[in-house]
Structure 1
């Protein structure tokens, strides 16, 4: 295959060759579910969904694992703050995350493991590291177990840092560490944390460190060596650096490629609950449809930084509506069976862009170019070229999970199977409007059109009859 990906570990674009012919294994660091998700979180889910779809296009059987971190320092602090079991907070937010992913058309992962369900695998990995001399139990009776960073000469290679230039790890007190930069694999029970958040082990009662969780779960579902490990740019250090160290020190090949997604910023800062500068999907759905949010998140190159503004979101939504209108126009004029995605072809420019480090921005430019050519063919009365262009646009948009005629998006606002009902009601109103026009009752015709517009239905009179699109009401 011709796919090339920017590998964080080498800081170069490398040809992607799957470890197992005909298959691809991908591990995405999922969210820590201490709070409801925001669109900064959802960007990564959408970007890796597009990567997964493109790998599938290349004929690969993709084993896609996306974990849930349902225990960590922040989650336990939230449990104490709200006097609730930590798992109830985690599960509530996990359900919200799943609903947001579904609303944006993100495919379900092959597996979605929770950290708390894999304590035995984590303890096995700790034991292997201690046996190999890369980890040690704290000597102060705390029950902590630390990774010895100086025992792993390659530490810092993923992030391109030198150990002597790093600050101390802040995930545990320094008192029992051999080196301040050693990080916690296991954390002993503390009286300041919920008593139900610990497990009995040979090291004493305790719970896993964040970095350990992902290494153990990736190994459990993808084996000692797998193809692609993903996550946000903010995870490169220390999270992914520590994953590499503990996994390879245990003798695992671990990830062959590292692919990281850029941040989504608001007011110049990374969108984060701790900063308080977050926008969630519920808020956006008051202004645009979920499919338009997906377009907004999917089109910029995955490594690029996105600076969120309402204006940029609306411009992106308008761009998608142009593509949607083109496809719907073709389906209405020629019939949906004549513009099926399987009848079209991927533009060579689209393929080249997607294969060159998943350049979604350039690929979408190719989609718009085919749309312009299709509109010209339609205006010239060349229905064959019009239909072929529409089918090709559908096929390319399907790679992005954005096919306007997909059942995912033909349900109005993703909120129920209402498209058929709305079609019937609008069709009836348009028939009444057409009857009024035929008898030259233009005030009634204009009134019916204004009523549709007020309801979010945009009507366009064409030589082939009126056509309509639905837009979420703004406000």
Structure 2
């Protein structure tokens, strides 16, 4: 599936440092391990109500990482899925009298427009789940054959205990959660820990057998549709070499989604899915986490159609460190608009010689766990004296932060 238009990225002289990131599984700041091409897989949207500020915050975090890896001299292969068949999408379609396919395509197109407006570098592989059902169902059949998948009635589940015995994966190594917390999050985030017949309450669904009125595909394990976690596991391995450089998403994907995607991949391939797991903080609004289920959403398209400069919206998000949780207010946008005006007001003639000191400082600051707030502060300090920004400085602000002045 097509993604969106690639923004022009200025080439800067030399190369920046390899970024360090906070790796969720280890809990430590880690310099990325890259052999050849850097590979990034970021979990995409379920396209039934896109794109809110929380989405934009996550994809901007990994856009920053993508830009820094390119600036460090690496080729990058970036993949992102769309979960274009899932319970929330089907429920929204039924509630609004829409065909689920039309709703998914409509919202995916809206997402494309929003990402392009925000100058997000598009993924090299933009993959709807429905285009890869055959490969996903074949992987489920493989897990059943090797004993890490089993049936409860006609549905297929992942056997956590069997997978831990036969693959390099241990439940809890990624999330560091206790069993009680895992059970609560499983029930909250799409799992069914209370279902009778499961070998372990946490065993996740691999394949949902055909139900009346639901979309279904033929497969080696019977008609139906895939579970959530197996989708990303298979898609990542189809288009990228594993282990990945980075598997990313928002913090609410740490468990169960990323935990079980890693388990499925290890069971299928015998290899870890990723060298590093990186997660963006969650954005709140009106005292709660911004989420579709709560309905407390601030939509990117509403702001853009209301006249907001997409560069200001990007700056409002970059003003927060990607790992922090924070709450969106009108003041975020007001501060960003004032910052954009200040940066734009300085001249464009190269009075500041080459501008290399600022470029070097930006590279070093951003490579330290994607510290965008500190990078913005460096530029604020640079423009405070009113002297003009050199062409190199402007190119760096564009290439590294996605703000074209």
Q: Which of 1 and 2 has greater Rg?
A: 1
5+ residue gaps, structure 1: 379-385, 405-475
Structure with the largest fraction of helix: 1
CA separation of 1:356 and 1:204: change in aligned 2, threshold 3 A: same
**1:6 equivalent in alignment to 2:22:** yes
CA shift digits 1:402-443 (9 cap, x unpaired): 021xxxxxxxxxxxxxxxxxxxxxxxxxxxxxxxxxxxxxxx
CA contact (8 A) 1:301 1:359 kept: yes
Partner of 2:332: 312
Residue aligning to 2:6: none
When the two structures are superposed, what TM-score results if normalisation uses the length of structure 2? 0.87
Aligned-partner SS, 1:136: strand
| SS of alignment partner, residue 362 of structure 2 | helix
* Equivalent residue, structure 2, for 1:72: 86
In the alignment, structure 1 residue 366 sits paired with structure 2 residue 378:
yes
CA offset at residue 167 of structure 1?
A: 1.4
Distance in 2 separating the partners of 1:351 and 1:56: 12
1:289 partnered with 2:309 = yes
Residue number in structure 2 paired with 1:245 = 263
Answering whether residue 54 of structure 2 is matched by residue 40 of structure 1, we say yes
Separation (CA, whole Å) in 1 of partners of 2:375 and 2:389:
20
Q: CA RMSD in A?
A: 2.2
- Of the structure 1 ranges 171-180 and 38-47, higher mean CA displacement relative to structure 2 is found in 171-180
Which residue is 2:404 aligned to?
403
Task: State the secondary structure of the residue aligned to 1:60.
Answer: coil
Quickly say closer, same or farther: Cα 1:350–1:311, change in 2 above 3 A.
same
Residues 1:370 and 1:303: Cα distance change in structure 2 (over 3 Å): same
The CA deviation at 1:134 is 1.5
Shift of 1:53: 0.7
1:207 aligns with 2:225: yes
State how many pairs are aligned: 377
Structure-2 separation of matches of 1:317 and 1:341:
28
Query: Is residue 182–residue 256 contact of structure 2 (8 Å, CA) maintained in 1?
Result: no
1:358-384 superposed Cα distances (whole Å, 9 cap, x missing partner) = 1111111112222235x2xx4xxxxxx
> What secondary structure, in the 3-state scheme, does the structure 1 residue paired with 2:277 have?
strand
Whole-Å Cα distance in 2 between the matches of residues 137 and 27 of structure 1?
A: 30
Residue 393 of structure 2 corresponds to residue 392 of structure 1:
yes
Q: Contact 2:134–2:219 at 8 Å: present in 1 too?
A: no
After superposition, what is the alpha-carbon deviation per residue over 1:273-309, rounded to whole angstroms, capped at 9, x for unaligned? 2211111123323253111001111231110112111
Q: 1:341 to 1:119 in 2, by over 3 A?
A: farther
